[in-house]
Amino acid sequence: MSVTNTRPGGRSSRIRAAVHRAVRELLATEPAEALTLPVVAGRAGVHPTTLYRRWGSLADLLADVATSRFSGDIVVPDTGSLREDLVRWTTDVAADLTDPDVLALMRAAVGSGTQGGCACAADRHAQLAAMLDRERERGGDPPEVGRAVDALLGPLYYRAVFTEHPAEPGWARELVDALLR
Amino acid sequence: MSVTNTRPGGRSSRIRAAVHRAVRELLATEPAEALTLPVVAGRAGVHPTTLYRRWGSLADLLADVATSRFSGDIVVPDTGSLREDLVRWTTDVAADLTDPDVLALMRAAVGSGTQGGCACAADRHAQLAAMLDRERERGGDPPEVGRAVDALLGPLYYRAVFTEHPAEPGWARELVDALLR
């Protein structure tokens, strides 16, 4: 994927905004299999060649949309307590994952077969690491980030994508308790 | 999805086998977005109408293929020790999830947006429940199946689908230790 010009207000960024909006609207209204670069181009009012040149493939376009959607959307709490930070953050992530539009984008990004992980996860890892690092700086002995990913992000994303059991109230705290006990 | 005739050797089961094989072959060779019912029909040498009548949608066809693939493929161990059973089973599931064909099918089944969970998970829940029930019958006090799903299946499937970190040796035992400690 090459995004050569993202100057706000420039033609390139207007196209990017229109294309991202078209993807989100199509995901909300059409079956996933209907999503192709030509269909997105038609919806966005952009020539298909532009999409192929700029994003290369549907997988790369979906990764770009996912990166936008999942970056900076959730604030990392700083309560002074690792447990409380993790409970608040896990609750926010769980709530985000009940949004049908978010689920549709995640499913599509996964299904398009992007290698190298889903853009919907990278920012979450960094946020977890930030909270654990802060606890370490306070002199605490937090779990490794890999363990926290397994214990929190694993079940959150697994339930959202693979099961029909949405997050229940109190579940976020259970997950954090299981990690920190 | 209605599968009216699955008599072994019958015309209907021959068609099903050809269509399933076509899906697996296409997933192994083509980008996910190329997978449509007409493309599958062409590959299987079956009229597209047959596929629409029998499976209704690509999502339902992928769910059917996933159900076949993920049913009965992993044997539930019975060593007499819950911990050892879970370590062996988790190791087997983790190994299965390193198979590129399995990952492609899972990603496609997720991406096709089937509501009601992915067929790649239902059988795994039942297997976990069987091991935990056996421990309870022995007089043990195993965790609830929901907790075991969160602690084992969550991280296994999350890593496989959302990250590029494959399972490392010893990881299965770490997950089980975190659940049973």
> Residue B116 has what pLDDT?
57
Maximum CA extent, chain B: 56
A117, B158: Cβ pair inside 8 Å? no
SS (H, E, C) B139-165: CCCCCCHHHHHHHHHHHHHHHHHHCCC
Measured in angstroms, the CA of B19 and the nearest CA of chain A are apart by 18
Cβ distance B178 to A31 less than 8 Å, yes or no, reads no
Give dist(CA A148, CA A176) in Å, integer: 9
Range(s) of chain B covered by CATH 1.10.357.10: 75-180
Facing B163 at nearest CB: one of A121, A155, A175: A121
* Cα separation, A160 vs B146, whole angstroms: 14
Q: In this structure, which amino acid lies at residue B77?
A: P
Sorting pLDDT into bands at 50, 70 and 90, what band is B117? low
Residue A173's pLDDT is what? Answer: 95
Residue A2: the pLDDT is: 45
Q: Each residue of A130-171: pLDDT tens digit?
A: 999 999 999 999 999 999 999 999 999 999 888 877 778 799
The pLDDT value recorded for residue A175 is 96
pLDDT at B38: 93
CA A116 to chain centre: 14
CA-based max dimension of chain A: 56
C-alpha distances in angstroms, B110 versus A160, B57, B107, B155? 11, 14, 5, 16
Chain B residues within 8 Å of chain A (Cβ atoms): 31-33, 35-36, 57-59, 104, 107-108, 110-113, 115-118, 120-121, 147, 149-151, 153-159, 161-164, 174-175, 178
Give CATH 1.10.10.60 domain extents, chain B.
11-56
- Over residues B115-140, the mean pLDDT reads 87
Which CATH number applies to B75-180? Answer: 1.10.357.10
pLDDT at A29 over 50: yes
pLDDT at residue A3 greater than cutoff 70: no
Q: What is the pLDDT of residue B135?
A: 97
User: What pLDDT is recorded for position A154?
Assistant: 95
Superfamily classification of domain A11-56: Homeodomain-like (1.10.10.60)
Q: pLDDT, tens digit, for every residue of B2-39? A: 444 455 578 888 999 999 999 999 999 988 778 889 99
- Give the residue with greater pLDDT, A18 vs A63: A18
Name the residue among B59, B57, B73, B54 with its Cα closest to residue B16. Answer: B54
Q: To 10 degrees, what angle do helices B171-180 and B82-96 make? A: 140
Which chain B residue shows the shortest CA-CA distance from A35? B33
Indicate the burial class of A2 (C-beta count within 10 angstroms; 0-12, 13-18, 19 or more).
exposed
pLDDT of residue A73: 75
pLDDT of B169 above 70 = yes
Residues of B in contact with A154 (CB under 8 A): 150, 154-159
**Per-residue confidence (pLDDT) for residue B7, from 0 to 100:** 55
User: How confident is the model at residue B122, as a pLDDT?
Assistant: 77
Read off the tokens for A78.
């700083």
Smallest CA–CA distance from B150 into chain A, residue: A155
Give me chain B's average pLDDT, please: 88
Nearest CA in chain B to A159: B154
pLDDT in tens, A66-122: 888 888 778 899 999 999 999 999 999 999 888 888 888 888 888 886 655 677 787
Distance CA A158, CA A162 (A): 5
What share of chain B has pLDDT > 70, as a percent?
Answer: 92
State percent of chain B over pLDDT 90: 55
Find chain B residues with C-beta within 8 A of A174's C-beta. 147
Quote the pLDDT of residue A123. Answer: 84
pLDDT at B55: 93
**DSSP string of B123-136?**
HHHHHHHHHHHHHH
Average pLDDT for residues B117-144, to the nearest whole number?
90
**Tens of pLDDT along B74-113?**
889 999 999 999 999 999 999 998 888 888 888 888 888 6
User: Residue A7: its pLDDT value, please?
Assistant: 55
Name every chain B residue with its beta carbon within 8 A of the beta carbon of A155.
149-151, 154-155, 158
Confidence (pLDDT) at B2: 45
Contact B163 A107 (CB under 8 A): no
CB contact under 8 A, B121 and A162: yes
Predicted confidence at residue B114, as pLDDT, reads 60
How confident is the model over A16-20, as a mean pLDDT?
A: 95
Report the chain B residue with the minimal C-alpha distance to residue A58.
B33
- Distance in angstroms (rounded) separating the CA atoms of residues A11 and A15: 6
The band of A5, judged by pLDDT with boundaries at 50, 70 and 90, is very low
- DSSP notation for A65-86: HHHHHHSS-SPPP--S-HHHHH
Dihedral sign of CA atoms B130, B136, B139, B143 in order: positive
**Three-class DSSP labels, B73-121:** CCCCCCCCCHHHHHHHHHHHHHHHCCCHHHHHHHHHHHHCCCCCCCHHH
| Residue located via tokens 């047959």 | B50
The Cα A65–Cα A92 span in angstroms is: 20
